[in-house]
A and B are shown apart, each in its own frame.
Chain A
Amino acid sequence: MRFPWQRHNRQEELAQELQSHLRMAVDDRMDRGESAERAEQTARREFGNVTLVQQIARDQWGWLWLEELLQDLRYGARMLRKNPGFTLVAVLTLALGIGANTALFSVVNGVLLNPLPYPHSEELVTLHESKPNFDRGSISYPNFRDWQQNNHTFAFMAIARGYGFSLTGLGEAEQVRARFISSDFFPLLGVNPVIGRNFAPGEDEIGAAPVAMISAGLWKHKFGSSPNVLGKSLTLDGKDYTIVGVTPQNFDLFLTTANLADVFVPIGQWTNNLLPNRGAGLGIHGVGRLKPGISLEQARADMERVTGNLAAMYPEVDKGIGASFLPIRKDMLGDVQPILLVLLGAVGFVLLIACVNVANLLLARSTARTREFAIRAALGAGKRRLIGQLLTESVLLALAGGGLGLLLAHWGTHAALGALPAELPRAAEIQLDSHVLFFTLAISLLAGILFGLAPALKIAHLRLHDTLKESGRGTSGARLRTQGVFVVVEMAMALVLLVGAGLMIRTLTRLWDVNPGFESKNVLTFSVSFPPSMTTASPDAIRAAVRELDEKLSSIPGVQAEAQTWEGLPLVSDDEQLFWLDTQPKPSSENEMSWTIHYVVGPGYLNTMGIPLVRGRFFTAQDNERSPLVVVIDDVFARKYFGNENPLGRGIILSSTGKRAEIVGIVGHVNQWGLDSDATQSLRAQLYVPCMQMPDAYIAMVHNGSSMVLRSNAPVSTLLDSLRRTSQQMSKDQVIFGARTMDQIISDSLAGRRFSMTLFGSFAGLALALSSVGIYGVVSYLVGQRTQEIGIRVALGARRADVLRLVLSHGAKMAGIGVLLGLAASVALTRLMADMLYGISPTDPLTFLAVAMILILVALAASYIPARRAMRVDPIVALRYE
């Protein structure tokens, strides 16, 4: 084997060798008495095609393919340079297709394909309590401890619960997001502190010394990333915690960037009287790591044993309670995966359309180049070589498109990341890494071969002899057919994407039209944390502070209504309570009680949220700690538990207090669970309780932070300014935080679907543009080919309208077939996106019809431009043309 750089020499030698052969043959002939001229001619004829002999002889030395490739590349590059218009259009088309694919693939790669950043993440599961009403309910602290001790299948179990602390003593008072965790939480995940240590076993018990870990962000922000932070104290809600470690930047269990925690505190530090209560649902959820080699089924059987024992031991609270768990990857990505895959499929269609378009362009050019190829063949190029040349050119185009596409993807991904819903897990991991680069290279090569194949196959079937004899017009009929097929395919694919986009748009409009049961406009939600000095305040003092806050805020100019919302806010947070009706005997176990969604609100709530009052009355300031207990229910509650009876004046008993409260009013139902899925949830009954009638133990915890809603038509920024000013006047250590408008909350709840819709819409737009360019190209070509015929028709008396109809009908035919095929394909494919839709069927006839009309109209418009040219054909010029 010789290396390519040694080949130059060998080639020259071969040429010399053949030359000497020829010379000797001529000499021999002349010796035999032939004339010099004749001898030369005959010897050459006998010798045959010098170039080809040379090529085949060289073939024996290997590396030829490389040399051919380099040659083809040089030649290809020259051809592309010589046709800048063609090259530009093709490269841009491909760049759009490849760029869109690369951008989306980088999302899929970062979110779905890359392994989770936890060691042996396949062993990780999320843990919940399964209860009669919820498959994934919260775990009570005592149950968790028993699960942890008695199971045989988990290497670790841990729990976590979100919280908000007010941080004081380090500059201005500030509200920080926190997580209560059990000691094994970080070790279980394999997450190590940046400096310091994790919580030690036992440090998470109730009554242990207060310690805390802080996030790298808070470390930097408050301590300048100084290593001396270890051992320092952190004042949270007025209590000093010793800092023992710093967690990695942006840590979040589900790898989202929304609501990152700044402080981690052992769960035992939670000053919630209900924590040791086995029946309490406190929003605590868990993670577990299975022992190596343990299957989910084994773990499930094990946990059934554990929870079964607990149910036998504590029947009044643990009966019917099980453990539910699923792989962390599924819990994290289960909802996202199908959506991303559907989008990836959709963007794949865009690339296919781009390929078909470029194939059409190449086909048009290859017809023009038929003579060139015939001549090259006559000069000794084999068919394999010609096809290789064509493929090299198309791959070259594709690579150029891929390079530009990568650039577009780089920008596109940046733009997309901005538009991504913050709840998308692992969004931070999305980047153009080596996998993505490889993907781009692979799809570029594949695309190049795919669209290069059409013209190459055509060359393979070309009868070069005939071509040379012909005037070079080539086989236009066959070409037109191929192009027609291409356009039909393009139209069909574009239609599928348009249907997808149409369905998403219809879904979102349906969702926007959903009445959530409240008036979101002009409603601001925010939280207030009272000064740390309130931590030890008496319940009466806290009630007084709350009343003062209400009074001050409602007197701000422009504020129409405001209310405390201590538990539950539609689309944001929920709380559930067990109850029974006063006509029932007290149930012996929680199983015989019913669940209701539980809102703890102030008297202004109904007006602030714009919820209609159906019957009776809502709370007033007189419904306080000294007056009889009252509750308000929603119409779903009323229908479900009272049917046609009048609920007003009836009593219910909440299991948490055990005291009877009288129903004084019925209000409209609100969509607690989101705009889309509320109607399909099993738990929909809603119960309102006035803040001031909450038990003293509950009131004692309010200092930590009280959520509020406020209605005002003042601009949000000025409103927030006045809120902050008012709060500061009350106390320097009182913080207003977490402000969001209710409109924003609703809009965010649709962010995932809106993201899908935007992507589908842009893909469909791209597809529509590309396929109309395709149909325009084919119809233009048709008009060019038939200029003469049209001239004759006009000369024979055809009217312009006839000509127009002739040309348009061709475009319409392609579009029509494409639409039919596309509709059929859509019926088959849109099923895949059924989960992304709301309120319409995946085969929504209106969408299908509208989209088909749009596509046909666009196709006709694209055909109209060349058709107008055909109309203006001057018969005399056309006939002279030949």
Chain B
Amino acid sequence: MANRYQNRIELLQGTLDLLILQTLQWGPRHGYGISQAIRANSGEILQVDTGSLYPALHRLERQKWIAADWKRSENKQRVRVYRLTATGKKQLLSERSRWEQLSDAIAGVLSPAKRGQA
């Protein structure tokens, strides 16, 4: 049982970090908000598992790429709100460029013909 979660974290680790950092670029959000945003922005395709989300958030926090504060939400709930830090922004940029390289490379592999023509 434990393995199911752990496997998924590992599978998603790189990308999930990127997605969280990217989501926080538009402003501070709480955990639930982040998962909802990723879901909405991916057209309901990416469903972030809480078992992956919170470990990732805490990991990023420990890396000091994001910071967290307790705030009151609109409906007066105490929520923990995450925001991007300065180093987090740099990390986001580098992760983005890495991701773009990776996705270009994968696209190239998947459709070599196009590449040859270009």
Give chain A's interface residues, CB within 8 Å of chain B: 13-14, 16-18, 20-21, 23-25, 27-28, 46-49, 52-54, 56-61, 377-378, 380-385
Contact = CB atoms under 8 A, between A and B. Distances in A.
B2 A52 contact: yes
A20 B6 CA distance: 23
B54 interface: yes
B77 A23 contact: yes
Nearest to B6: A56
A48 B2 contact: no
Contacts of A48: 5, 49-51
B114 interface: no
A286 to B, nearest CB: 70
Contacts of B5: 48-49, 52-53, 56
B78 A25 contact: no
Interface string B37-55: 0000000000001110011
A27 B58 CA distance: 24
Interface string B76-106: 0111100000000000000000000000000
A53 B54 contact: yes
Nearest to B9: A56
B32 A21 contact: yes
Contacts of B50: 18, 21, 46-48, 53
Interface of B is mostly: helix
Given A14-B54, A16-B78, A20-B30, A60 B2 contact: no
B62 A61 contact: yes
Interface of A is mostly: helix
Contacts of B31: 17, 21
Interface residues of B, number: 25
Nearest to B31: A21
A459 to B, nearest CB: 14
B37 to A, nearest CB: 13
A61 B58 contact: yes
10 pairs of A and B residues whose beta carbons are closest in the complex:
A382-B2, A60-B58, A57-B54, A24-B32, A60-B59, A17-B80, A21-B32, A56-B55, A57-B55, A53-B51
Interface centre among A18, A57, A377 (most CB of B within 10 A): A57
A14 B50 CA distance: 12
B55 A20 contact: no
Interface centre among B6, B31, B58 (most CB of A within 10 A): B58
A57 B55 CA distance: 4
A49 B51 contact: yes
Contacts of A18: 50, 54
A255 to B, nearest CB: 58
A43 to B, nearest CB: 10
A195 B63 CA distance: 67
Nearest to B61: A60
Contact of B78 (A20, A53, A381): A20
A229 B42 CA distance: 100
A20 B77 contact: yes
Contacts of B9: 56
A52 B54 contact: no
Contacts of B32: 20-21, 24-25
Contacts of B111: none
A773 B61 CA distance: 56
Given A21-B30, A28-B36, A49-B5, 4 more contacts: A20-B73, A21-B32, A52-B5, A57-B55
A107 B15 CA distance: 62
Contacts of B30: 20-21, 24
B72 to A, nearest CB: 11
A380 B1 contact: yes
A13 B80 CA distance: 9
B75 interface: yes
